[in-house]
Structure 1
């Protein structure tokens, strides 16, 4: 059975240069990137954030996905590790409670070239090389537009009131709770939602968990979309100008327009991955990563997540 794990290239600016974090592991006597195995019921983004906190004492949010490595462990099982870039803010570094322990003997911040030389495994070096590409392109600092589809709602044929008043089912309410930690991993600072009840109920758990108010708008509602009065361009344009990570919760038919507007507003070259990003299951979401310093340089990466069944 394949073992899944997740981690990150944690980075910060030291004396004007990008440094990345490597860990010296006690038991393995090696130098690697922080990572760890997925716990039962956990998503990969959730694992990455938790493992970084446990191994380094750093509380981070995830940036651009850096791909994965896979290799065979000594016991013969295959291990697949997913990685993200993750900026360690000055506040996070100061708040770290790390102490040497039986698993990690030391943490070391190194310039990228020195980190590549220090890492024990070529597979880790390949992940850092992918991160270096972001640095070379000047798109290291990122924010995201998170396009979220509402969770499972009561079907229209089982509901007699206005469509916008249809509530979530019990399954939908559970889905809304299940995606909270995955969304939290990307550090949203704003939450926007269609005024439809099913959307508002979907973002309620993450709103409470992050202590963020929900900004309701008819401009991304299904009713507005169907009547030709949608204001997706206005909403998305403002979010990109603000350059902070935001959740935008809407409906199946509207989400492709939301993704398309992000692509248009950032000069993204049309690609199949962009069009697919708006085709989401209920309670699924796509994270569209954009550059803080060069938002007009296009969508840097797209990743899509669904609730755990």
Structure 2
């Protein structure tokens, strides 16, 4: 039986020059003597988004928010084991650049901001060039700068048949608590600005670890609770429409029956046709979350990308 592949994650860190052209960040690795995109291996218990932002911070000193995923590259290591590296776009703000803590070290010799053409010329590996090309396509379309609507299903709760109180008071089981903890740092990698939760205890408990990690207050909204569920979904759509109008990343923690309405509302507001990935995003298991990336400048041009992540617990 072949060993599991080595998993890693990174990002195309980018900014716009004064001339309106994209610049991306390359790292010159000391020991490998190569030029590559910043990335690193997954630590035990980490999710891929969590790894990406941690590795960017460690290698470049930059704190970024993950944008749209750019795909995965696969190759075989010298020892024969397969490696998979997942990449996201990650815009770097002026403040992040000013606050970078990078100093040359035994792993990374130097950092270099270059244009797309130069990046293709100096990158040491063709698979890195492929990732840059995917970013370049998004930028050319005006869809590289995104915000996200994150749909989070509550963790595993005590079954209704085993609970004597009102349904809204059903607590999480230990598995649900563990699920909530395991996804919190991954969700935080997208740097949400709003946390919205159903008023049900199981949802509030699920989003609580994310609130602690991000330092954000949770906005309780009965509209996205199971008790308020209505087949038409009009009230849910109004909540989603308001968040999309604000063009800031937001997390909505809700229930199985409500999640399809949340996803459909994002589709309607962005004029996006249904796909298999969106169907999967609407059918989350307990503790899972979906990330729907929407272009900041033209939300009506459609969802840029869809991700679904599962808890490690």
What is the distance in 2 between the residues matched to 1:228 and 1:139?
A: 31
2:107 is matched with which residue?
Answer: 103
Pick from 171, 176, 197 the counterpart of residue 172 of structure 1: 176
1:9 paired to 2:12: yes
* Residues 260 and 275 in structure 1, CA contact (< 8 A), matched pair in contact too: no
2:54 is matched with which residue?
Answer: 50
Deviation at 1:226, TM superposition (A): 4.8
1:155 paired to 2:155: no
User: Relative to structure 1, is the Cα distance of residues 26 and 169 closer, same or farther in structure 2, using a 3 angstrom cutoff?
Assistant: same
In structure 1, list runs of 5 or more residues that go unmatched: none
In structure 2, list runs of 5 or more residues that go unmatched: none
Pick from 261, 267, 270 the counterpart of residue 263 of structure 1: 267
1:32 paired to 2:14: no
Deviation at 1:228, TM superposition (A): 6.2
2:228 is matched with which residue?
Answer: 224
What is the distance in 2 between the residues matched to 1:136 and 1:87?
A: 15
What is the distance in 2 between the residues matched to 1:286 and 1:280?
A: 8
What is the distance in 2 between the residues matched to 1:63 and 1:261?
A: 21
- Give CA-to-partner distance per residue, 1:89-129, whole Å, 9 cap, x none: 11111111111111111100001111111101100000000
Question: Per the alignment, in what secondary structure is the counterpart of residue 179 of structure 1?
Answer: helix
* Residues 219 and 229 in structure 1, CA contact (< 8 A), matched pair in contact too: no
1:188 is matched with which residue?
Answer: 192
What is the distance in 2 between the residues matched to 1:226 and 1:257?
A: 10
2:252 is matched with which residue?
Answer: 248
- Give CA-to-partner distance per residue, 1:133-184, whole Å, 9 cap, x none: 1011001110000000001111001101111111111221121111111011
* Residues 6 and 44 in structure 1, CA contact (< 8 A), matched pair in contact too: yes
Q: CA RMSD in A?
A: 1.2
- Give CA-to-partner distance per residue, 1:16-52, whole Å, 9 cap, x none: 2110011111111111000011111111111111111
Normalised by the size of structure 1, how large is the TM-score?
0.98
Question: Per the alignment, in what secondary structure is the counterpart of residue 219 of structure 2?
Answer: strand
* Residues 233 and 261 in structure 2, CA contact (< 8 A), matched pair in contact too: no
Deviation at 1:227, TM superposition (A): 7.5
The aligned runs of 1:286-297 (5 Å cut-off) are 286-297=290-301
